[in-house]
Structures are given as structure tokens and as C-alpha cells.
């Protein structure tokens, strides 16, 4: 991000996670005071290593689906970012009841806090709200094809209900909201045991194992590098027009999972060895964002190619250091 100095205080719920920790650092770099709230279910203190030494950073261990601690409720905030929710399918399916309540109750509590303190509120919704899409690429006007009783529903329907809550608060004039629908994002700090495809494949190739491909590997995703995504989140939060969203944020470069495996093999120089496993239930076949709205409304589009982003991520998995310029240059 270009460092534009900014005063004020931000709350980042889910700030110890993959995206949240990069967001905390970007906001601190801009001069904001940042308070992170996280229950550390899929986030890690190690992600906050850089932020912890910053005088304007603090964190609180708390679950957003339970009443928020007084230390949070009694503070004034200018910006509230809600990223609290596990994003990896195996992790969010471990305790589906908690996942659904995290999205619904967590969003409700944070909206109420935003209303009380006059903060702007940004919800990180997801491309998963489109389910198994019958429209391709997906535009924001598409209403989706989610199985409401399947194993992914705790996440998909939780986010759909969270969007509903956000738009109800906006319509009632109670909170200024911003809603983004994030498409698959990857980069340094993806937890190695997270279970998502990029972290799985890189970890497997570096460990000398076979790459696990679920189904035939012809299903597609469109992968966005983390620095681009963080730039998009902040741009949307600060957007001053009448548009609360939803706005798709993602990289429209669509690849099959087999192609992703090939790219990782080429970049690491390790010959490809595949292990085909059953395809998870309700796993979408195709996914690619139409980002026309992000381009025209926000002037935002991704700048990091898949090969550049994968190279940076591979290097982070090898060294554990994300002192890579791609990480912070949106
Ligand atoms: P992540 O799992 O790394 O981070 C989520 C963070 O939220 C973790 O630190 C976790 O401990 C915390 N959290 C979970 N439940 C909580 C609760 N009840 N109370 C407090 N904290 C809680 O995932 P991520 O990839 O960083 O995703 C961040 C947000 O972006 C999520 O809301 C996710 O739905 C959304 N999103 C991410 C992607 C992606 O590809 N990364 C795609 C679509 C949407
Ligand atoms: N996937 C895979 N091997 C893995 C992990 C995932 O083939 O080790 C597939 C998964 O079935 C899905 C795609 O990769 O089709 C993306 O999965 P991920 O869990 O990263 O994200 P999501 O399904 O939420 O888009």
C-alpha cells in the first residue's frame, strides 16, 4: 500500500489470521492505532510478531460470537473490519455450529459496536455465497446456488446471513457498511496445517510428498495474492461514495487445480507426483470473479501475477520470513 498517514483507531476482528495479520500491519503502517480481537482458533500469535512490537498495536483474546469484553465495548473506533471466521473448509467444518454463529452473532455484535461508536464497518464476505455457480464468471448480481443443508452451509449461509444483517443496518441508517466478497486469496502466513489448496500443495512438495488432488483436479479457482487483497479491503473501507457493496475482490486469472500443481512444481523445480483423493461434498466446480465493479467503483484491480505470488509464498514456506517486498506493496 502507498503509505498515506491516517489518524484514528481500527478494530480488526480475526486479526491474528492470515489476512487479518497483514491488514493489522498495513493499518499500523498508515499511522492508525489497531486493536485486534481474536479467539486464536485458526489464527496464531506468530502472525502478529511484526505488529506486537508496534506501540499503537494491542490484541485481546475474545470470541466474537460471545458478548465482547468491556475493553472493546468502551472504546471509540473509526473503522471496524470483521474478518473473524475460519476460511478453510476442513477447519470451518470441524465445529459447524460455532462457524455459523461466529458469522451471524459476531457480525451482529460488531455492527452494534459500530453503531454505538459511529465507526464504519467492513464485512469480509466470500465467493462461497455463490455456492456451485450457474453463472460464470460471477457478478455481484448473481444470487448464488448454495446447498443450505450441506457441510459447507455453516460457512456459506453464515456469510449470507451476515451480509443480510450488514445491509439491514445500512438501510436503517444505523451503520455505514462496506461488504466485499473475497475470492480465494493466498500468500505468506497461510498456516501450513490450514488445509487450503495452496498451503497443502506447497507444504507437500517441500516435504517430498505427493500432491493431493481432490477429484480429477479440473475444478477451477482464481487465486489472488494477499497484498492485492489487503489493498482492496482498505480501499473499500475508505471509499466515500454511496455504494456499500457487495463488491467482488479477487484475481480473475482462473486455473484448474491440476494447473496450480504444475505451476508449483515448475517454480520449485520438483517433479510433479500426484495423489488423487475423493472430491469433497459440494466443492464448487468453477469460480472466477467478475471484478468490473471493483475496477469502476474503487479503481482497484490486482497487480501480482499468480507466478509472482506463488514464488513469494513458496519462499515464505521455505524460510518463514515474509520480508518480501511483494507482501506489503499492494
Ligand atoms: P484465517 O482462518 O486465517 O483467519 C480467521 C481469523 O479469525 C483467525 O485468526 C481466527 O482465529 C479468527 N476467528 C475465527 N473465529 C473467531 C471467533 N469466533 N472469534 C474471534 N476470532 C475468530 O482466514 P483468512 O483467510 O485470514 O480469512 C479472513 C476472513 O476473510 C474470513 O472472514 C474469511 O471468511 C474471509 N475470506 C477469506 C478468503 C481467503 O481466501 N483467504 C476467501 C473468502 C473470504
Ligand atoms: N483441493 C485439492 N487438494 C488439496 C486441497 C484442496 O485438490 O489438498 C481442492 C479443493 O477440492 C477445491 C480447491 O482445491 O476444489 C480449492 O480448495 P480450498 O480448500 O483451498 O478452497 P475453497 O474450496 O474454499 O475454494
In this prediction the ipTM stands at: 0.99
| Ligand with smallest separation from the Cα of 229 | 1
What value does the CA radius of gyration of the chain take, rounded to a whole number of Å?
Answer: 19
Tell me the average confidence (pLDDT) per consecutive run of 10 residues in the chain, 330 residues long: 76 98 98 98 96 97 97 96 98 98 98 98 98 98 98 98 98 98 98 96 96 98 98 97 95 98 97 97 98 98 98 95 50
Q: Would you say 24 and 13 are in contact if contact means Cβ atoms under 8 Å apart?
A: no
Q: Which atom of ligand 1 lies closest to the CA of 182?
A: 43
Position 3 scores a pLDDT of 57
Q: Judge whether 155 counts as a catalytic residue.
A: yes
Q: How far is CA 199 from the centre of its chain?
A: 14
Give the residue, by CA position, lying nearest to ligand 2 atom 16.
197
Q: Write the residue with the smallest CA distance to atom 10 of ligand 2.
A: 214
**Sequence-ordered list of residues with C-beta below 8 angstroms from that of 183, at least 6 positions apart, any chain:** 126, 127, 221, 222, 224, 248, 249, 250, 251, 287, 288, 289
Q: pTM higher than 0.90 for the full model?
A: yes
Q: State the pLDDT at residue 320.
A: 82
Q: How confident is the model at residue 229, as a pLDDT? A: 98
Cβ < 6 A, ligand 1 pocket: 14, 16-20, 38-43, 63-65, 83-87, 102, 106, 124, 126, 182, 184-185
Measured in Å, residue 127 CA sits from the centre of ligand 2 at 14
> Could you tell me the end-to-end alpha-carbon distance of the chain, in angstroms, rounded to an integer?
5
319 Cα–ligand 2 center, Å: 24
Q: Distance between CA 207 and CA 134 in Å, rounded?
A: 38
Q: Which residues line ligand 2 (CB under 6 A)?
A: 88-89, 184, 196-197, 200, 212-214, 219, 221, 257, 279-280, 283
Q: Which of 59, 130, 155, 186 is catalytic?
A: 155
Closest ligand to residue 132's CA: 2
Q: Which pLDDT belongs to residue 328?
A: 42
Best residue among 87, 193, 257 to mutate for probing ligand 2's pocket (most ligand atoms within 8 Å of CB) is: 257
What was the pLDDT predicted at 82?
99
Amino acid at each position: 500500500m502507498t503509505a498515506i498517514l491516517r489518524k484514528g483507531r481500527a478494530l480488526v476482528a480475526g486479526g491474528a489470521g492470515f489476512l487479518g495479520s497483514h491488514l493489522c500491519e498495513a493499518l499500523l503502517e498508515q499511522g492508525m492505532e489497531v486493536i485486534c480481537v481474536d479467539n486464536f482458533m485458526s489464527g496464531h500469535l506468530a502472525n502478529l510478531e511484526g505488529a506486537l512490537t508496534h506501540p499503537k498495536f494491542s490484541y485481546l483474546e475474545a470470541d466474537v460470537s460471545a458478548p465482547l469484553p468491556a475493553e472493546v465495548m468502551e472504546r471509540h473506533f473509526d473503522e471496524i473490519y470483521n474478518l473473524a471466521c475460519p476460511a478453510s473448509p476442513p477447519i470451518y467444518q470441524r465445529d459447524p455450529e460455532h462457524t455459523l454463529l461466529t458469522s451471524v452473532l459476531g457480525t451482529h455484535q460488531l455492527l452494534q459496536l459500530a453503531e454505538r461508536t459511529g465507526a464504519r464497518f467492513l464485512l469480509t464476505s466470500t465467493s462461497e455465497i455463490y455456492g456451485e455457480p450457474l453463472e460464470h464468471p460471477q457478478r455481484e448480481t448473481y444470487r448464488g446456488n448454495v446447498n443450505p443443508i450441506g457441510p459447507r452451509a455453516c460457512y456459506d449461509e453464515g456469510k449470507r446471513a451476515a451480509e443480510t444483517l450488514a445491509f439491514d443496518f445500512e438501510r436503517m441508517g444505523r451503520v455505514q457498511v462496506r461488504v466485499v466478497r473475497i475470492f480465494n486469496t493466498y500468500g505468506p502466513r497461510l498456516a501450513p496445517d490450514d488445509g487450503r489448496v495452496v498451503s497443502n500443495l506447497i507444504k507437500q512438495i517441500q516435504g517430498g510428498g505427493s500432491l493431493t488432488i481432490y477429484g480429477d483436479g479440473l475444478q477451477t479457482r482464481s487465486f489472488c495474492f494477499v497484498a492485492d487483497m489487503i489493498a482492496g479491503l482498505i480501499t473499500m473501507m475508505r471509499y466515500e461514495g454511496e455504494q456499500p457493496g457487495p463488491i467482488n475482490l479477487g484475481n480473475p486469472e482462473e486455473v484448474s487445480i491440476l494447473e496450480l500443481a504444475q505451476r508449483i512444481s515448475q517454480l520449485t523445480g520438483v517433479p510433479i507426483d500426484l495423489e488423487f483423493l475423493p472430491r469433497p461434498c459440494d466443492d464448487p466446480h468453477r469460480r472466477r470473479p467478475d471484478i468490473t465493479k471493483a475496477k469502476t467503483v474503487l479503481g482497484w484491480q490486482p497487480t501480482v501475477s499468480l507466478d509472482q505470488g506463488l514464488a513469494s509464498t513458496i519462499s515464505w514456506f521455505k524460510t518463514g520470513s515474509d520480508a518480501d517486498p511483494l507482501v506489503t506493496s499492494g
